[in-house]
A and B are shown apart, each in its own frame.
Chain A
Amino acid sequence: MNIGLAYDVVRFEEKSLLQAINHLGHVSKPIHVVDKEFWINEANGFDADFIIQRCVSFSRALATTTIFERYGNIVVNNLDVLRNTADKLITTSMLAKRNIPTPATAIAFNKQTALSIARKMGFPVVVKPVSGSWGRNIARAFDEQSLLDILELRENMPNPQMKVHYVQEHVDKPERDIRAFYVWGEVPVAIYRVSKMWKTNTALGGRAQPCPVTDELRELVVKAGDALGGGVLGVDILESREKGLLVNEINGVVEFRNTVLVTGYDLPSKIVENTVKVVKR
């Protein structure tokens, strides 16, 4: 097969996917989107059986996926899945609709309503932007005053999205969370992200360790991935002491360098193999 790989920055993930495509006997077609012209009215589609979307910039991922699909290309992940995973409000809503356990979450559009939610939820609470990654601009409030301070800061930011307050219960977890990989209905590998800090993102220094894929974890991750539209996803799970496993966030252009390094699992080949099977169907 001819397999495109749309990217802006080359990281371990993009290199290893290109290597996997070639090692599996396919033809890799890197598409560096940053310097390309994309004419929307003319169908100058890329000669690829499918395109793996790997742009680190979400705006570029969304734009180029839209255009590739307009050209008639199959993109992994597709536009719906990208949108569903990029917006935490959409993700949580889609999970809740399928009764998939998530931390208690509510939305408010002003400080007083957010405060009322937090009082009902109980402190501490976590306030997140609805979009964004790597733990950016996520804050934890231990009491009413610190919540009001955080909300005031958010409301003075120029981005109107920061006035949508996504308020979530703080989950008391055991100094780690789980990043499990969903690859077209399978859960081939997972890691713990261990940190003494409450934010466990590896981008913020969280340490990766292998995590066994138990039946309980697999079942939850498959349900969550299916609910968001399938494809190739990173599903972040919190281990609540009271409520058990909770799906926290889902990533649509997932990073896996640390997972491959600590588990030795050849995830890039798994992604390519499973996607080829799905596209051939």
Chain B
Amino acid sequence: MVNLACPVCGSSVEVPSDSLPGELFECGDCGAQLEYFVDEKNAASLRVAEEVAEDWGQ
């Protein structure tokens, strides 16, 4: 597991070390929906997840 900062409230969010980019997590403190993200330097972080759009789903 790794701890990453919630971009909304700054709390620490624990995510599995084998997480995939695009995997969703919820901040235990503020409830924000967050997405695991890896940048071009291979640094992992969390960003606010995309909202459900009109073309989503089956």
Contacts and interface: CB of A to CB of B under 8 A. Distances in A.
Interface of A: 7-10, 14-15, 18, 30, 32, 34-35, 56-59, 131-134, 136, 203, 234, 251-255
A131 B58 CA distance: 10
Given A9-B22, A30-B20, A251 B58 contact: yes
Contacts of B49: 9
Nearest to B53: A57
A8 B57 contact: no
Interface string B33-45: 0010100000000
Contact of B57 (A10, A59, A133): A133
Interface of B: 20-24, 35, 37, 49-50, 53-58
Nearest to A254: B58
Given A7-B22, A251-B58, 20 more contacts: A8-B22, A9-B49, A9-B50, A10-B20, A10-B22, A30-B20, A32-B20, A32-B21, A35-B21, A35-B37, A56-B56, A57-B55, A58-B55, A59-B55, A132-B54, A136-B54, A203-B57, A234-B58, A252-B58, A255-B57
A58 B56 contact: yes
A234 B57 CA distance: 12
Contacts of B37: 35
B22 A34 contact: yes
A148 to B, nearest CB: 24
Give the top 4 A-B pairs by smallest Cβ distance, nearest first.
A133-B57, A251-B58, A134-B57, A10-B23
Contact of B22 (A32, A131, A136, A251): A32
A255 B21 contact: no
Contacts of A18: 20
B58 A253 contact: yes
Which of B21, B50, B53, B57 has the most chain A CB within a 10 Å cutoff?
B57
A59 B56 CA distance: 9
Nearest to A36: B21
Contacts of B20: 10, 14-15, 18, 30, 32
Nearest to B37: A35
Nearest to B36: A10
B34 to A, nearest CB: 12
B22 A133 contact: no
Contacts of A15: 20
Contacts of A57: 53, 55-56
Contact of A255 (B53, B54, B58): B58
Contacts of A134: 56-58
Contacts of B35: 9
B24 A9 contact: yes
A255 B57 CA distance: 8
Most chain B Cβ neighbours within 10 Å, of A56, A234, A251, A252: A56
Contacts of A234: 58
A157 B53 CA distance: 16
A253 B58 CA distance: 6
Contacts of A253: 58
Contacts of A9: 22, 24, 35, 49-50
